[in-house]
Amino acid sequence: MRGKLILGTAASIVATMFACKQTEDVYQDRKTLENKTEIKNYLSANKLVADSLNSGLFYVVSNADTSLQKPQIGDEVTFSYIARRLDGTIIDSSQVGYGDVFIRSFNTTDITASGYAMAYRFNPVPSFELLMNAPYEKIRETDKVTLFVPWSLRGSGDVSLLAPLYIPIRYDINILKVRTQEEQINDYVVANKILGLERNSENGLRFVKTLARPDSAQIEIGTTLSVVYTGKLIRNGVQFDSGTIDVNVVDPKGTASGGVVKGFNDGIAKMRYGEKAIIIFPSTLGYGATGSGGKIPAYSPLLFEVEAVRK
C-alpha cells in the first residue's frame, strides 16, 4: 500500500512539473509573438525599414562605404553602442571615448569555448555575429547597425531592473574599425617604435635582436636551453605571462614546435646564447582559434621579449 502511495505521489509530482513546463513554454511563445508585434509596430511608427532573420532579429545596416573591409575570421572589430528599450529609455552603452572589442569567430556554435569567450563576444546580442556570416555578410568598417532584439535572443548579461527579461531591446552600433591580425601587429610596432624587425613573408613571424652577441655560439637544432621570457598581447599590450622555460629547439622548417608554440620556437632558433630579442607572430603560429589558459584570447597575435641562456 505504501509503495503504491509513493508511486502515486511521484507520478503526481512529475505531472505537475510537466504541466508547469508546458505553461512556461506557452507563456514564452506568447511573449515571443508579442515582441515581434512590438518591434513591427515600432518600425512602422518610426518609418524604419528593417530586414529580419529567421531567428527573429530585425536589423538595419547603413553602409557608408561599400569598398571598406568586412570582418574576416579572427579579425578585431571595434565598435560603440547604445542599448534602449523601445520606449527610448537607455539601459546600457559603451564607455564614451572607448570602443568595445569583438573578435570574429569561425562559427557561432563555438561560443562556449573558454578561449573564444576571452575574445569578447558581444554578449547582449548573440545574433550580431550572424550578420557577418554567409549568406548575409552585412557588416563593414564604418557601418551603422541598428538591431531590434526580441527577448529570446537577448544574452543573460543584459537582464536588469531597467531591462526585464521579456521585452525587446534596440541596439544602435557604430562599427568604428576592423583590423586584421597583420594590421594589429603593424599598429603595435609603430606605436611602440620597434625598429629593425625582419619579417618572414610566408608565415608573418617578426624578429629583431635587442642585444646581439656575435661572438657567442649559435643555438643549434635539437639543443635544449633555458629562455627567460615575457609574453604580451599585441591587441592591448597586456602582459599575460613571464618566467623561465626550457626549450628543445626544433627545425623551423618543420611543423613541430618543441613543446612551445611554433612562433616562439622559430624565433629562438634565430638566436645565439646570451642574446635578447623580440619575437612577434600571428595566432597561426601561436594559440590559434582556442586561446590558452584563460589569459590568451582566441585569434591573438603575440609578442615575446626573450633572452637565450645556456642550461
- 166-183 pLDDT tens trace: 999 999 999 888 999 999
Q: How confident is the model at residue 137 (pLDDT cuts 50, 70, 90)?
A: confident
Q: Are strands 239-248 and 276-281 parallel, antiparallel or unpaired?
A: unpaired
pLDDT at 123: 52
Percent of the chain past pLDDT 70, that is, above it, reads 80
**Mean pLDDT over residues 59-84, rounded?**
86
Which of the pair, 219 or 126, is modelled with greater confidence?
A: 219
Yes or no: say if 108 and 125 are a contact pair by the CB < 8 Å rule.
no
Yes or no: say if 96 and 187 are a contact pair by the CB < 8 Å rule.
no
* Dihedral sign, Cα of residue 68, residue 72, residue 78, residue 80: positive
Q: How confident is the model at residue 20 (pLDDT cuts 50, 70, 90)?
A: low
Yes or no: say if 204 and 283 are a contact pair by the CB < 8 Å rule.
no
Phi, psi of 116 (to 5 degrees): -70, -40
Residue 300: CB atoms within 10 A of its CB come to 27
Which of the pair, 311 or 11, is modelled with greater confidence?
A: 311
pLDDT at 64 over 60: yes
The whole-model pTM stands at 0.77
Q: Are strands 206-211 and 276-281 parallel, antiparallel or unpaired?
A: antiparallel
Rounded CA-CA distance 301/181 in Å is 6
Q: Which residue has the cell 515571443?
A: 32
Rounded CA-CA distance 3/107 in Å is 52
- 231-290 pLDDT tens trace: 999 988 999 999 999 999 999 888 766 689 999 999 999 999 999 999 999 999 999 988
pLDDT at 5: 52
Phi, psi of 253 (to 5 degrees): -75, -15
Q: Sort 121 into a burial class: Cβ within 10 Å, 0-12 / 13-18 / 19+.
A: buried
Mean pLDDT of the chain: 84
pLDDT at 219: 95
pLDDT at 14 over 50: no
DSSP string, 256-286: --TTS-HHHHHHHTT-BTT-EEEEEE-GGGT
pLDDT at 121: 46
- 92-122 pLDDT tens trace: 888 766 667 777 764 444 444 444 444 444 5
**Mean pLDDT over residues 80-94, rounded?**
91
Angle at 242 between CA 305 and CA 212, to 5 degrees: 25
Domains and CATH numbers, the chain: 28-179 (3.10.50.40), 182-309 (3.10.50.40)
**Mean pLDDT over residues 114-134, rounded?**
56
- 46-57 pLDDT tens trace: 999 999 988 889
Phi, psi of 64 (to 5 degrees): -75, -35
